[in-house]
């Protein structure tokens, strides 16, 4: 399956049988100038790699039918795909086995956005779109699995936000979010779904990327960030 635009951008093939993790990886790369391909099995990954010749493959090990080690071994044995760098992801201790299969690098799950992007940049000179981020101090309500959390916003961009809290949610956690923007002329409540993408210590808390928000809410956030950044 394809995501993003075609053209001269680098192609990255993401392989995982868990849709939630594919979505998380795609979210990590949402500001990067690249073209994303996805596959949910080892066999599908091999078919996509043969046809699309991606510039990088990020391959999960734990998959049914054909696991990532087997898929990596085949990819590295075929002339049309052997040159493609493969980053293997797993929650198990299989680094030596992955290297014997030909993997170029190995990462242990769970993985956050800064670490993931740093590893991708080891192999591809991807460029991330710069994003205006403004500071603010405002209450925000989060919901996860029926529990409610009242925390404080620290900063906001058009695609995400950072909150200060000692209550950390795991990377990839989906949160329902609701907050008001200070001195927002629209008076509209910002609501939607966000993914936790990183943890931080200064101040303690975590960063999120919006996953599902309405077009109207997205415009409100973009307009507010632009207005505050310009000092209007």
**Residue ranges of domains in the chain, CATH in brackets:** 2-121 (3.40.50.2300), 134-229 (2.40.10.220)
Cα–Cα distances in Å, from 198 out to 77, 163, 209? 36, 11, 10
C-alpha to C-alpha distance for 225 and 22, rounded to whole angstroms: 29
- Residue-level pLDDT at 232: 65
> What global pTM score does this model have?
0.83
pLDDT, one tens digit per residue, over 7-16 is 468 999 999 9
- Residue-level pLDDT at 9: 84
Cα–Cα distances in Å, from 185 out to 154, 182, 221, 224? 21, 9, 12, 9
pLDDT, one tens digit per residue, over 177-229 is 999 999 888 888 999 999 999 999 989 999 999 999 999 999 999 999 999 99
- Residue-level pLDDT at 231: 81
- Alpha helical stretches, state H, 122-231: 215-229
231 φ/ψ sector (left φ>0, alpha ψ -120 to 50, else beta): left
pLDDT, one tens digit per residue, over 22-78 is 999 999 998 888 999 999 999 999 999 999 999 999 999 988 888 899 999 999 999
pLDDT, one tens digit per residue, over 78-115 is 999 999 999 999 877 778 888 889 999 988 888 899 99
pLDDT, one tens digit per residue, over 105-143 is 988 888 899 999 999 999 999 888 888 999 999 999 999
C-alpha to C-alpha distance for 2 and 52, rounded to whole angstroms: 10
C-alpha to C-alpha distance for 195 and 33, rounded to whole angstroms: 20
- Residue-level pLDDT at 129: 82
- Alpha helical stretches, state H, 8-138: 19-28, 42-52, 68-77, 95-100, 113-121
- Residue-level pLDDT at 6: 44
C-alpha to C-alpha distance for 77 and 54, rounded to whole angstroms: 16
């Amino acid at each position: 399956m394809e995501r993003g635009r075609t053209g001269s951008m680098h192609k990255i093939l993401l392989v995982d049988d868990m849709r939630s993790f594919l979505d998380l990886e795609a979210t990590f790369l949402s500001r990067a100038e690249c073209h994303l391909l996805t596959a949910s099995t080892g066999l599908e990954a091999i078919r996509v790699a043969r046809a699309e010749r991606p510039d990088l493959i990020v391959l999960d090990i734990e998959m049914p039918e054909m696991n990532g080690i087997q898929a990596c071994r085949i990819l590295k044995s075929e002339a049309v795909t052997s040159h493609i760098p493969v980053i293997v992801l797993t929650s198990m201790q299989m680094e030596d086995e992955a290297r014997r299969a030909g993997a170029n690098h190995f990462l242990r799950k769970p993985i956050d956005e800064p670490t993931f992007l740093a590893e991708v940049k080891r192999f591809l000179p991807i460029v991330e779109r710069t994003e205006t981020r403004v500071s603010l101090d405002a209450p925000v309500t989060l919901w996860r699995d029926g529990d409610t959390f009242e925390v404080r916003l620290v900063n906001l961009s058009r695609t995400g936000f950072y909150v200060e809290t000692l209550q950390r949610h795991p990377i990839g956690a989906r949160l329902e979010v609701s907050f008001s923007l200070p001195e927002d002329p629209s008076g509209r409540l910002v609501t939607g779904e966000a993914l936790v993408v990183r943890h931080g210590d200064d101040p303690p808390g975590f960063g999120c990327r919006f996953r599902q928000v309405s077009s109207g809410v997205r415009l409100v956030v973009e307009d507010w960030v632009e207005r505050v950044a310009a000092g209007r």
